Amino acid sequence: MNTDTLEKVVLIHTRECFSQACGHLMQESVARLKTSVGCVCCQLDTAERPVGRWAIHCAWNSIDAMRASFEHLFQPAFDTLIAQNALLSIKVCEANSAELSHGVN
């Protein structure tokens, strides 16, 4: 990854009973983010994660693009999860953080 990019991983923990709906919401959010201005890459990582735990890895070319993504793409998805009483926690980490291997608590 280019050293001029800003990389973050958003760790999301949802109630297991909402996994299918949450998965669909996560996939839609990532698809919209991939086409947003300033997004260098974005992917939903579900490999080897327990049910109800999600990781979205993103990189942007500027702080403004990252802020816009959080305000206009992530926040509406989080609001939906909250309204459905599906969200347990959200954590934003640096892409190289040791916290990533431990998941969301």
Give the CATH number, domain containing residue 90.
3.30.70.100
Radius of gyration of the chain (CA): 13
Taking each continuous run of H as one helix and of E as one strand, the counts in the chain are 3, 4
Which pLDDT belongs to residue 4?
77
Mean pLDDT of 48-68: 90
Q: Is the pLDDT of residue 96 over 90?
A: no
Q: Is residue 1 part of a domain?
A: no
86 or 96, which is more confident?
86
Q: Is residue 104 part of a domain?
A: no
Residue 40 confidence class, pLDDT cut points 50, 70, 90: very high
Residue 44 confidence class, pLDDT cut points 50, 70, 90: very high
Residue with tokens 């969301």: 104
pTM: 0.81
- CA–chain centroid gap for 48, Å, is 16
Helix 75-83 crosses helix 19-34 at what angle (to 10 degrees)?
170
Question: For residue 78, what are the domain limits?
Answer: 6-95
List the end-to-end C-alpha distance of the chain, in Å, as a whole number: 28
Q: Is the pLDDT of residue 104 over 50?
A: no
Q: Is residue 32 part of a domain?
A: yes
- Overall domain count for the chain: 1
Could you give the CA distance from residue 14 to residue 6 in angstroms, rounded to a whole number?
Answer: 26
